[in-house]
Amino acid sequence: MRIQEIPKPHLDVQSHGSIRVLSDEALFQATGIAIAFSQRHGGVSSGPYQSLNLGSHVDDDIDLVRENRARLLEALGGGDLPLIVPKQVHGTDLVIVNQAGDQALLTASEQAARGADGVVVTVPQVAAMLCFADCVPIIIVSPSRRFAVVHAGWRGVAASIVVKALEALVSLDSADQTEPIDATSTYGPAIQEQEALEPSVLASTYNVYIGPYIHAECFECSEEVHRQFTDKFGDDCAFDSSHIDLGAALRKDLFLCGVLPERIADADICTVCSTDDYYSFRAADGLCGRHGALAFRLDA
Ligand SMILES: [Zn+2]
């Protein structure tokens, strides 16, 4: 399989009326994959949920949440797409969506409703979204046009859910390379069998997008959590003796898997420090809405 390189990742603010997202237009132009980290403007929720609350589990009016989700999808050009939104449980389970038929989507939705913190999508015309208020939103895009949307709170970062998502993509992409070639085929020119690429070589072709999350200076944690991180990721992820840098821990995992530094785009926004645009569980003492990380691929 020849790897078709995708543009290096960039995150820029895009406005669709009053709805604003961080997105990568060059990626969309090259692949049809729309990615977005939403801000909190342009929705219909009020009070602590003001206004584009996408979370259905935070005691906001569910009809308002549905309207907010529909507005976001519509703004991104995916208004008629089915949307998979898992019940997030701070675990490492992933939902793999590899068919777009009604039955397959129903199965995927049921699996998502039982609890998952990542969605891997291999087919066009299906949107996946996870919800956030301080946890780390991650979107991984492969040149194969498969993608993953991942929710990583500190538990998810510590449990390396991002590695699990990368491995799922690598596994799916590797299967492409080793598809049996029909030797008796009389169609087309002879196909040379190629060496399968190493997993890390595949991962080096992926784009990784990291949205807004609680940054180190605001992520005060217990001694126990602090030790858990420094034991696993080394002292580089310690901001000081009581604060952990989740991004540094994530990067360590990504690099170990073969992701290239220049293929990681970080929004470089701390949610606790940016409550005008984002929801922050810590800043709001737990009562707030959720912004989203969302991706889909449109048919060429
Ligand atoms: Zn901060």
Q: What is the pTM of this model?
A: 0.94
How high is the pLDDT of residue 2?
Answer: 55
| Ligand 1 centroid – CA 160 distance (Å) | 23
Tokens of 122: 């291999």
| Ligand 1 centroid – CA 246 distance (Å) | 12
| Ligand 1 centroid – CA 184 distance (Å) | 61
Mind spelling out the 3-state secondary structure of 216-264?
Answer: HHHCECCHHHHHHHHHHHCHHHECCCCEECHHHHHHHHHHHHCCCHHHE
| Ligand 1 centroid – CA 245 distance (Å) | 11
| Ligand 1 centroid – CA 152 distance (Å) | 17
Residues 209 and 149: their CA atoms lie apart, in Å, by 10
In degrees and rounded to multiples of 5, residue 23 shows phi and psi of: -150, 175
Residues 289 and 179: their CA atoms lie apart, in Å, by 45
How high is the pLDDT of residue 95?
Answer: 98
| Ligand 1 centroid – CA 139 distance (Å) | 21
| Ligand 1 centroid – CA 178 distance (Å) | 46
| Ligand 1 centroid – CA 271 distance (Å) | 6
How high is the pLDDT of residue 176?
Answer: 85
Residues 148 and 121: their CA atoms lie apart, in Å, by 6
| Ligand 1 centroid – CA 279 distance (Å) | 12
| Ligand 1 centroid – CA 136 distance (Å) | 13
The angle that helices 161-177 and 246-257 make with each other, rounded to 10 degrees, is: 20
Lowest mean pLDDT among 27-36, 166-175, 187-196: 187-196
Provide the pairing of β-strand 264-266 with 207-210. parallel
Residues 19 and 233: their CA atoms lie apart, in Å, by 37
| Ligand 1 centroid – CA 185 distance (Å) | 60
Mean pLDDT of 248-256: 97
How high is the pLDDT of residue 181?
Answer: 45
Q: What is the pLDDT of residues 72-111, one digit of tens each?
A: 999 999 999 999 999 999 999 999 999 999 999 999 999 9
Residues 185 and 62: their CA atoms lie apart, in Å, by 54
Q: Both ends of the chain: CA-CA distance in Å?
A: 20
Instruction: Look at the domain 12-176+197-297 and name its fold.
Output: CNF1/YfiH-like putative cysteine hydrolases (3.60.140)
| Ligand 1 centroid – CA 218 distance (Å) | 5
| Ligand 1 centroid – CA 234 distance (Å) | 22
| Ligand 1 centroid – CA 265 distance (Å) | 19
Helices (H), 115-191: 154-158, 161-177
Name which of 169, 238, 245, 175 is nearest 203 in CA terms. Answer: 169
DSSP state letter for 144 = T
| Ligand 1 centroid – CA 9 distance (Å) | 24
Provide the pairing of β-strand 94-97 with 136-141. unpaired
How high is the pLDDT of residue 183?
Answer: 44
